[in-house]
Copies of this chain bind each other. A is one copy, B any other.
């Protein structure tokens, strides 16, 4: 019987579960509501049952499971396998999630930060393939990040490295939810992009977005990019501000861990070249002239599966390295 690796992507709303073979091919996957308010133990039980059902539906035995890994949001003590807190799952406080999963499955388990897991997925099988140094941004409600340096995830001194959304790009600038001012998240997340557009339209700037605001009561990031593509001047300005903010963090990351590739993920990348090309334009405008840089700026390729793929890859890697005692 060949080995199976389970990759889990735990979100505040849904939990995704993927079943992979030892070459990290996806065999089958499913998703279910997290229902975090039922409490951590009940969530773990639900994950266990859902996984067993998934395997049974695909004529697989849970005996074949070699290892399990989960990507989870919020600050954690990864080496100890503990979730410290999670903004969207208030019942998850100091939860020994790795041990709970390991107990439930009777198999070794790995806990990783959710953005790191998605970063690792893209690194192993997606847009980061073939490089050793990569930086990863997820553009959604907020901006998450991950760093791969010399083939390894950067965890930092207290497992909270790569909070890249909170790099300050405009000191004393827009207020961020984290309490800082001028974070890239406050300019270039999907929510911030929509918010800047809404503020501009409300301040009576001329734009085809005005009709959207009047009709729908709100402007989304998608609206901004669509109207930008249709050559609305305001929408183009807002898009450019987002692209410039992202280009600035690309420059700063190049001078920090010097990635070979910078990968953007998240719903916002559906905008395609209208966004990607502007990020590249601003990067070329902002970067030094001291020497030619060959960093590649690209969009993610795994979509919503990045998290389960990355988790499964971490489970396999930990098993291969015999690293389960270290918890990574």
- List A residues at the B interface (Cβ < 8 Å): 75, 131-133, 147, 149-150, 152, 154-164, 166-171, 176, 178-181, 244, 248, 251-253, 255-260, 286-291, 294-295
Whether A167 lies near B256 (C-beta < 8 A) is yes
Give chain B residues whose Cβ lies under 8 Å from the Cβ of A290.
178-179
- Assess A256 versus B259: contact at CB under 8 Å? Given A132-B157, A149-B149, A180-B251: no
Give chain B residues whose Cβ lies under 8 Å from the Cβ of A294.
158
From DSSP, what is the main secondary structure of chain A's interface residues?
loop
- Assess A156 versus B133: contact at CB under 8 Å? Given A161-B257, A255-B163, A256-B256: yes
Whether A286 lies near B168 (C-beta < 8 A) is yes
Whether B171 lies near A255 (C-beta < 8 A) is no
Whether A155 lies near B166 (C-beta < 8 A) is no
- Assess A180 versus B287: contact at CB under 8 Å? Given A257-B161, A295-B157: yes
Whether B288 lies near A255 (C-beta < 8 A) is no
In the assembly, what is the distance between CA of A168 and CA of B132, in Å?
25
Extra contacts, 10 of them, besides A154-B258, A162-B257, A180-B251 (Cβ < 8 A), are A131-B157, A149-B154, A154-B257, A157-B260, A160-B291, A162-B258, A168-B169, A168-B286, A171-B286, A257-B257
Give chain B residues whose Cβ lies under 8 Å from the Cβ of A150.
152, 154-155
| Shortest Cβ distance from residue A189 to the other chain B in the assembled complex, whole angstroms | 15
Whether B256 lies near A147 (C-beta < 8 A) is yes
| Shortest Cβ distance from residue A293 to the other chain B in the assembled complex, whole angstroms | 9
In the assembly, what is the distance between CA of A150 and CA of B131, in Å?
20
A257 in complex: contacting residue of B132, B156, B259, CB < 8 Å: B156
| Shortest Cβ distance from residue A311 to the other chain B in the assembled complex, whole angstroms | 21
Give chain B residues whose Cβ lies under 8 Å from the Cβ of A154.
149-150, 257-258
